[in-house]
């Protein structure tokens, strides 16, 4: 697909979806409808990669289920998921980071 972000709009047709830039170069994704508003900070590259958009959709659906009480996590599960998300985000940033930035991090 030419614009993978379209999958996001198709997955949440009842929500108004907006993207706002943040000073740290990440993006604030907001999904809003008449009843609720969800926000998530994402890396800009996520909306241009079909696999990452798919993962983002799954994460948003999970987060919405947790917020509605339809899905619960115990503390260990939450910590495990948070660690996996942090590792994935770090790998994503490194995969798309300019070489100069990677040298500065070393």
The residues spanned by each domain of the chain are 5-105
Lowest mean pLDDT among 24-28, 63-67, 74-78: 74-78
Q: HSE of 49 in the Cβ direction (CA atoms, 13 Å)? A: 12
* Contacts by 49-52, CB closer than 8 A, 24 or more apart: 49/4, 50/1, 50/4, 50/7, 52/4, 52/92
Q: What is the pLDDT of residues 34-59, one digit of tens each?
A: 988 999 999 988 888 888 899 999 99
d(CA 69, CA 61): 12
Is this structure's pTM higher than 0.85?
no
Predicted pLDDT of residue 39:
92
| DSSP code for 23 | T
Q: How confident is the model at residue 11 (pLDDT cuts 50, 70, 90)?
A: very high
């Amino acid at each position: 697909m030419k614009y993978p972000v379209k999958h996001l709009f198709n997955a949440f047709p009842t929500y108004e979806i907006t993207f706002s830039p943040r000073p740290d170069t990440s993006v604030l994704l907001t999904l809003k409808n008449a009843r609720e508003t969800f926000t998530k900070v994402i890396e800009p590259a996520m909306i241009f990669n079909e696999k990452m958009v798919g993962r983002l959709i799954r994460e948003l659906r999970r987060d919405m289920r947790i917020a509605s009480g339809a899905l619960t996590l115990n503390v260990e599960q939450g910590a495990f998921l948070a660690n996996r998300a942090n590792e994935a985000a770090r790998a994503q940033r490194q995969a798309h980071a300019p070489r100069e930035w990677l040298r500065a991090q070393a």
